[in-house]
Amino acid sequence: MNTGPRRVLVTGASRGIGRAVALELARAGFEIVLNFRSRADEAEAVRRAIEEQGGRARVLGFDVADRVACAAALEGELAERGALWGVVLNAGVTQDAPLAGMDGDAWDRVLDTNLGGFFNVLRPLVMPMVGLRDGGRIVVMSSVTGLVGNPGQVNYGASKAGLIGAVRSLALELARRKIAVNAVAPGFIETDMLAGLERDTLEKAIPMRRLGQPDEVAALVGFLFGDRAGYITGQTLSIDGGLA
């Protein structure tokens, strides 16, 4: 049994949903490891914000799509500070185009990051998490696109649907260890990922007629990390204003 603070890795934590999740979990008393790929200054700003609210955090830079670099960073983290109790897989990218006009690089980049990152991050962490003998939580950020599809996002939809299947299978593997594994499927959330899209058009497509907020997604993740959610595993929880 781990007697120290429960540590949680949040990938893609420098802004948007990842930032909101990191702040939410820090407020709940977790020590946060903030992953970033290229925005070290923004990750440091999140760390400072967590510390200003009385929490504990550190930053850890690596690209979830790079298997070798990912393994090196995580193995170093484990060797220095021990196993992680929880993981939020939030890092993701889009590179939209109709399939007929999509090049191979766009397909590979999205699948390697969004779906490959699941393997690259979790494989080094799962057995140390089991070794804690303290249960644990894994939450994976899928998308409404993985449930209902979206024109121009065949690559993104494939990656996010693949995550849902991966979550269900990993949940079965880890259930006896009391490690809960779930997916969250946001709809249109007000982040930089929506930059360039017409807000009025998006809102008209949403039954609730508004965009979601990162803090709302973070609150759902926070619930899944709480004691009252320990019997929920293998599930995909939508937070989309009624889209799916």
Yes or no: say if 144 and 238 are a contact pair by the CB < 8 Å rule: yes
Model confidence pLDDT, tens digit, residues 15-35: 999 999 999 999 999 999 999
CB under 8 Å to 2, separation ≥6 — which residues? Answer: 82, 83, 85, 132, 133, 134
The verdict on residue 244 lying in a domain is no
Domain presence at residue 92: yes
Q: What is the pLDDT at residue 74?
A: 98
Q: Is residue 26 part of a domain?
A: yes
**What is the domain-level CATH number for residue 201?**
3.40.50.720
Residue 2 belongs to a domain:
no
Q: What is the pLDDT of residue 138?
A: 98
Q: What is the pLDDT of residues 120-177, one digit of tens each?
A: 999 999 999 999 999 999 999 999 999 999 999 999 999 999 999 999 999 999 999 9
190-226 per-position pLDDT tens digit: 988 787 778 888 899 999 999 999 999 999 999 999 9
Dist. CA 62–CA 68, nearest whole Å = 10
Q: How does 213-229 read in b/e, with b if 16+ C-beta sit within 10 Å? A: ebbbbbebbbebbeeeb
Is 36 a residue whose pLDDT tops 90?
yes
What is the pLDDT at residue 244? 79
Looking at the predicted structure, is the pLDDT value of residue 37 above 60? yes
Between CA 186 and CA 61 the distance in angstroms is: 25
In percent, how much of the chain has pLDDT > 70? Answer: 98
How many Å apart are CA 18 and CA 24, to the nearest integer? Answer: 10
Is residue 1 over pLDDT 60? no
Mean confidence (pLDDT) of the chain: 95
Give the pLDDT of residue 198: 83
Out of 85, 156, 188, 225, the active site residue is 156
Tell me which residue of 156, 158, 146, 153 sits closest to 236, measured CA to CA: 146
Distance CA 161, CA 33 (A): 26
Q: Long-range contacts made by residues 73-82, C-beta under 8 angstroms, separation at least 24?
A: 74/121, 74/124, 74/125, 75/124, 77/33, 78/124, 78/125, 78/128, 81/7, 82/2, 82/4, 82/7, 82/128
Instruction: Give the pLDDT score at 3.
Output: 59
Whole-angstrom Cα distance, residue 223 to residue 24?
10
Say how many domains are in the chain: 1
CA–CA distance, 85 with 6 (Å, rounded to integer): 6
Domain of 126 in residue numbering reads as 7-239
Average pLDDT over residues 98-126: 98
- Across the range 55-65, mean pLDDT stands at 97
36 within some domain: yes
Tell me if residue 231 is catalytic: no
* DSSP state letters, 44-65: HHHHHHHHHTT-EEEEEE--TT
The pLDDT of residue 55 is above 80: yes
- Report yes or no on 104 lying in a domain: yes
Local structure of 239: helix, strand or coil: strand
Is residue 67 one of the residues assigned to a domain?
yes
Which residue type occupies 221?
V
Residue 1 falls within a domain, yes or no? no
Mean pLDDT of the region 48-69: 97
Amino acid identity for residue 33 in this structure: V
